Chain A
Amino acid sequence: MSVKVDGYKSSTVFEQLKVNITDNEAKKKETIKKINAIFEFNVKNSEGKEQIWTLDLKNDGTVQTGKGSAKPDIIIGLADETFVELASGTLNGQKAFMSGKLKIKGNMMLATKLDGVLSTIPKAKL
């Protein structure tokens, strides 16, 4: 099932995350063991619309649009652009958090694992 949502640049990132996380069973288990949390992303695009994506890296290892069946451990609210910047690498989660670009609800500590989740997205190099 596709996690693509038109009008969001983040959409392709989630599609990639889905592939990266769910493709390989061994890798999926390793990721779940390492992260062990459910992330809910509340992404706001340039038109001010909000879209939720949920990364379950605790039970099933899934990426989906909308809320998951289980309660998320952390809810991260951010702009579409910010998510793309995080995924593309040079904006790291810490910088984003410090500059107020991430709104976090729930277990803040889990946000520290965000870079680890997103590091599977390839980045442009100088």
Chain B
Amino acid sequence: MAFQSMVTGAECATGSNPMSQIMKQFTDDRSLQKDTFIPSTERADSSSFRTARLGASSQENKFAQDFFNQQEHARLQGPVSGIPKFVAPHKEWLAEFKNMSDHPQLWKLGSAEAGMEEAFKRTNDHSKWNNEFLHGPDLPISQITEMPEFEEAFQKNFDWASEYVLKRDKGKGKEKILELDNLSWEEQFAAAQRKAESENFKLDDDLKLFREFEDVWSKSNYRGQSDDDEFNDSKAWESEFGDYIFEPNNPYLKHANPFQEGLRLMEEDGSLSEAALAFEAAVQKDEEISDAWTWLGNTQAQNEKEEAAIRALQKAVEVNSNNLTALMSLAVSYTNEGCDHQAYLTLERWLTAKYPDIAISNAPMHGVMDTHSRVTDLFLQAARSAPEGQGMDPDVQVGLGVLFYGSGEYEKAVDCFVTALNTRKDDYLLWNRLGATLANSGRPEDAIEAYHKALDLKPTFVRARYNLGVSCLNIGCYREAAEHLLGALSMHQTGLNGDIGVNTSNSLRETLNRTFLMMERKDLADKILSGSDVNQFREEFEF
């Protein structure tokens, strides 16, 4: 027990530097230091409980005895010459501390005890320091998170202190031991402990502030994430993105089989914007084809048009709630949009659709963190359930990768994507996901390599080109960034209506605008924002 070790520590009162002992205690459990000593100074009428004495009565408390005996015991072990002499009124006490029975004399305040007194006072000064330390402005998080522990300890000690009956008897000039009530120290302590444990944490000011801060933070940043009701109700959430918006003048509406045409375009590395138009026409002809919605969504995501992708994928899942491809893509898109919780819930749907045998835990879901750990656990179960000798389901790896990416565990996410790539070497989506994870974990050079791999496999992959531009921008290679972004933007142009459609990609133009500003080319920056034809940049840039 930290308290005991503190008072019985051999150097406690006698060491040349009492502070060294105190410092040790701070590292172990700062709270005890604060709480044990501060109340004693606050009892103004008795300078401290050690000097408060009263006649030894038959009700002497075992605790008090133990307490002081321990102190004396410590002193006996320490290098102290003047060993004080004791009264040992209880046989119990004698039995417990046989080694002290050589001194069955009255309590005296020896020089050692006076020294201890002094050290004790000094610790009170340290407690001020402690106080400052705890409330100091540059309080690191690690200490704040320890507050509940602190609070609990505080409770214990507070009760403990209040159970002393401190009286003073100066009559004989000799100070005598304390009297306490009947309960043994152990019992009291245990009771206090139970009480402390049963109470919810009463937050002290710092902790309250911290909670408030957390609350404000979560409310201010993430849509829906601070509100359980809202994110459990996926319908309310989905409506935030609304229905898919179709291009008004879509030539593929006249096509006999736009879905097949779209698949052909994707297969032959045609323009993603063209393919998207084909898939739009397909779902406009028949809204109930979940696969066509999926293709539309995936195409828009690859085309760096995330919102359109989410709308299409939500529709795909609405038409067929077991559409695994759509669920996985949707989870990825939510992650990109910073909708973490929705992403995790979507992954959970994917897992339960594909692995119905995996038990869903009924763990309460109170927030993003809970959902994340629950869904991660499910995916790990699925990963373990792979039959002996067979590789793991790469989709499970992808799901885990997205989960780890969401929680900022990039190294694990990289491992997952790499494992999935082992079985799907030609999956350009995976190469891009690996690249994005590397980029966001501060490894832009490695990321660029992965993006190039993705682009080798799929030259029309606008998103990978955009990501490549972002990485170049973030490492300060502005010219290369501009060229990649211009290249990506040029791919948005369709033969018929330029790149100005209803589903535009703001991210591309905005990023390009900033890149030009970084190059101190405000002329170009203004041009790109006004929606100029990217071909006029070909004179200056190669793309």
Against B, the Cβ 8 Å flags (1 = close, 0 = not) of A13-45 are 101100110010000000000000000000000
User: Given the known A-B contacts A125-B336, A126-B433, are A9 and B514 also in contact in the complex, defined by CB atoms under 8 Å?
Assistant: no
Report the bound CA distance from A81 to B443 in whole Å.
Answer: 10
| Contact A16 B514, beta carbon cutoff 8 Å | yes
B216 within 8 A of A: yes
Given known contacts A112-B220, A126-B432, A89 and B440 CB-to-CB distance under 8 angstroms: yes
Indicate whether B360 reaches chain A with its CB closer than 8 angstroms. no
* Cβ proximity bits B406-428 to A, threshold 8 Å, 1 near / 0 not: 11101000000000000000000
**Given A91-B408, A98-B141, does the pair A85, B436 have CB atoms closer than 8 Å?**
no
Which bucket holds chain A's interface residue count?
Answer: 35 or more
**With a CB–CB cut-off of 8 A, which chain A residues contact B338?**
89, 92
The proximity string for B residues 325-354 relative to A, scoring 1 for CB distances below 8 Å and 0 otherwise, is 000000010011010000000000000000
| A contact residues around B221 at 8 Å (CB) | 92-94, 112, 115-116
> Considering only CB atoms, which chain A residue lies closest to B435 in the complex?
A124
Are B306 and A108 closer than 8 Å at their CB atoms? no
| A81, A99, A103, A122: the one within 8 Å of B514 (CB) | A122
Please state if A85 and B217 are interface contacts (CB–CB under 8 Å).
no
Contact of A12 with B476 in the complex, beta carbons under 8 Å: yes
- Give Cα A106 to B140, complex, Å: 12
Q: Are B442 and A112 in contact (CB under 8 A)?
A: no
**Residue B441 CB within 8 A of the other chain:** yes
Contact B437 A126 (CB under 8 A): yes
- The smallest beta-carbon distance between A79 and chain B, in angstroms, is 10
Instruction: Name B471's closest neighbour in chain A (CB-CB).
Output: A124
For chain B, the bracket of interface size reads 35 or more
Cβ of A124 and Cβ of B467 under 8 Å apart? yes
Q: In the complex, A126 Cα to B214 Cα: how many Å?
A: 28
A10 to chain B, nearest CB (A): 10
Please determine whether B467 and A103 come into contact, CB atoms closer than 8 angstroms.
Answer: no
Given contacts A90-B405, A97-B141, A103-B140, is CB(A125)–CB(B442) below 8 Å?
A: no
A100: CB under 8 A from chain B? yes
In the assembled complex, which residues on chain A have CB atoms less than 8 Å from the CB atom of B315?
none
Residue B133 lies at the interface, judged by CB distance under 8 Å to chain A? no
* Alpha-carbon separation in the docked complex, A93 to B222 (Å): 11
Query: Across the interface, do B142 and A100 meet the contact criterion of CB distance under 8 Å?
Result: yes
A124/B470 in contact, CB under 8 A? yes
Answer whether residue B304 sits at the interface, using C-beta atoms and an 8 A cutoff.
yes
Residues of chain B having any CB pair with chain A under 8 Å: 137-138, 140-142, 209, 213-214, 216-218, 220-222, 304, 306, 332, 335-336, 338, 402, 405-408, 410, 432-433, 435-437, 439-442, 447, 463, 466-467, 470-471, 473-476, 507, 510-511, 514, 517-518, 522, 525
Which A residues contact B (CB, under 8 angstroms)? 9, 11-13, 15-16, 19-20, 23, 77, 81, 84-85, 87-95, 97-100, 102-106, 108-109, 111-113, 115-116, 120-126
